[in-house]
Structure 1
Amino acid sequence: MRITVIGTGYLGAVHAACMADLGHEVLGVDVDWTKIDALSAGRPPFHEPGLDQVLARTVESGRLRFGTSLQEAAEFGDVHFVCVGTPQKAGSNAADLRHVEAAVGGLAPHLTRPALVVGKSTVPVGTAAGLAAVLRDAGSPAELAWNPEFLREGFAVNDTLHPDRLVVGVTSTGAEEILREVYAPILDSGDTPWISTDLATAELVKVSANAFLATKISFINAIADVCDAAGADVTTLATAIGHDARIGSRFLSAGLGFGGGCLPKDIRAFMARAGELGVPDALAFLREVDEINMGRRRRTVELARGLVGGSFLGRSVAVLGAAFKPDSDDVRDSPALNVAATIQLQGGQVRVHDPVAMDNARAQFPTLDYAPDIRKACEHADVVLHLTEWRDYVELDPEWLGSLVGARRMVDGRNVLPLPAWRAAGWDVRSLGRSAPA
């Protein structure tokens, strides 16, 4: 099929490359020439495992190309995926829909033949109905559908080509048939459930999933505080309750909490939309979920400050990790960088290292000191903070690292280091939910 992807950020670039890899002819459109030039050369403008290979082969094959013209997109495509960002609105919890509205509003006047416009961006419920009205008001014969994304950064290519479910919100059988054709190479395997519903339900599926995951993370982090107070170990507790099939073990890792460009802003936008719909109390619990999550950052700073005697003044602090999660260079709402910046404001001399996110971190927090490698980050450090669970950090030799630092003090903000081995090497290790010294 002839497909366009409007917006070539994280979601759009992955979706465009994967749709071309499925055999479709794809045109990616963006207003940012820097992205267009990089993608046209087969280079992803961000770090995502496996994307570089898919992008290179689909661009080389001629099935995937990029441009900046919505008119060209309208003339080329039969299916138009809208993949632009919906950040948090300044001064509000609500989602900023300007990019989505601009994409559909700019495309609509050029859609002079039947086509399907498919939203993939995460939006408040009711947005799709409003965008369908934009198409009608422009006199366009195009129809609107919604097909939410469920990508995990670090696994986005696999999640696109082998999704655990495909959800489509449609208003006609024709629209559903078109989307079944788009995803036919995936559906033919018989492994992917297909869920067809109305527009509002499709919009709510994504934000509800993110709200549930955020709640699960904040639940175990709240339990971590109880474990600290009682002298218990939250990692063992999480393993035990995770064996209950009704609960499951995924997203039960206590630690520094969630960040990134999705969960934090999505739960806030969900609360804001519930208020607009007249049911603010329905999602009031998400305020506590958000507060628990932000509290993990403050607690991590407190643990580190306690290890260095109650003040960061004149103290050298090594921060291992800048991305909000491993296998990504995304530093949006990064808990690690938030902690690093807070310690710097409190007088600490902070050095940050990350395997791939250094450039993005430097752009957002230029006043922090960035080390080219782990050795330089940790030399003579009074305390080391492990804040992003990259394998390079998890597999560190505590004796080797101990030979570099000024004092063997560690805050494991992700609860993944083997505490017996580190403590046997003379480290004073604290973490969230199992921070009591041996």
Structure 2
Amino acid sequence: MELSARVGVVPAGVRVDPATDPHAQVFISYAREDEAVAQRLRELLHGEGWDVWWDRDLYVGTTWEQHLLQVLEGCRAVVLVWSAAAAASDWVGREMAAAAGAEKLLPCVLDATPVPPPYDALQFAPLQGWTGDRGHPALPGLFAGLERHVLPSRIETVRPGFDTACLGPEIDLPGIPGVGDELPYLHFSVVMNPARRLAWYVASEVRPQKTPPERPVSWSPDPTLSRLFQPANQHFTGTGFDRGHLAAAASVGWGEPRQAEIAVRQAFYWTNMAPQAANVNRSTWLALEQLERRLAERHGAVAVFGGPVLDPQDPLHVVTNETRGRIRARQTFRLPRAFWKVLVWSAGGGLRSACFDLPNVDAPALPVRRPVDEIEAVTGLDFPPEVRDAVPADAAELRT
């Protein structure tokens, strides 16, 4: 193998120890003829928060084969670029076998070259004809597969969560009346109720965005959370209920183009959806999403809190009984009968607010304005004083 035939990635000027350095977490395997595609893939993964190693920094005189094998053994995931050139490469074959044996192979297919057994049983990301389009429908599956092996090394850059200082004064996350956990994403956080497989609420920072990125073609699970603790497609298919965004993709998809793309993709994680009646999702809830974006255009930023009203008496929904290992779980998913949303923004030297609730029914109904203490009463949440003390906006402020 010629040294020039191998490519990997580390930041310029940085030497890595493949046995210990986190830069060796993700490895790209490909043939020399596919170097341009591998470079685009490396840049894409780097933009998603991963540090990807490649072997361009190998230098003359080093025992490069031993060094490369050490990196391959020490990495957490191997992204394979499969093509006719890769099929003809003995070295790619060795890397593919080693990665598959360690159960860390994530293959991408560039052309119609058959994948040999036993690797043909693996799920491949179909990237035929891919030229670097960051909105390609196969990429979310590749990202999700990678996250199951290793979280992005710079996760704080792609999952910082809701910015509590987005309006100036600190606005803490509301307290919850039970067990939950914050799942941070880019420009928003989901506070998850694992017992209900739904969010207590979502807190998001909404700012103006002139050209929101394209929406993904499908939803996907958050790979950092067990699928048993988040909703899934089976809870929606054939039920008549929509997969409703709690934080709208168009609302959190702001910032630099790559940031916006990441935020929109994360907005399509199952953790950010709830079963909404069609009229709610496509009319009343949509109207509130449009309102928060209008307010962001006018005031620069809006802090948005919203989610389902979770009541122990909510009716059972589909697929309510499941087997989890040796445990039989009953009543694992219930249908929320209402939703709520609280908008907070800065205007006139202070904070303004607008709070709403609406029934989860497929019939025409306008969102109802409520004081924040009534939202607390029906949800059990405890909003911070900055939200409670915000001055309710009058109707004219919300119409213009």
The TM-score normalised by the length of structure 2 is 0.27
Q: Which has the higher helix share?
A: 1
Q: Which has the higher strand share?
A: 2
The TM-score normalised by the length of structure 1 is 0.25
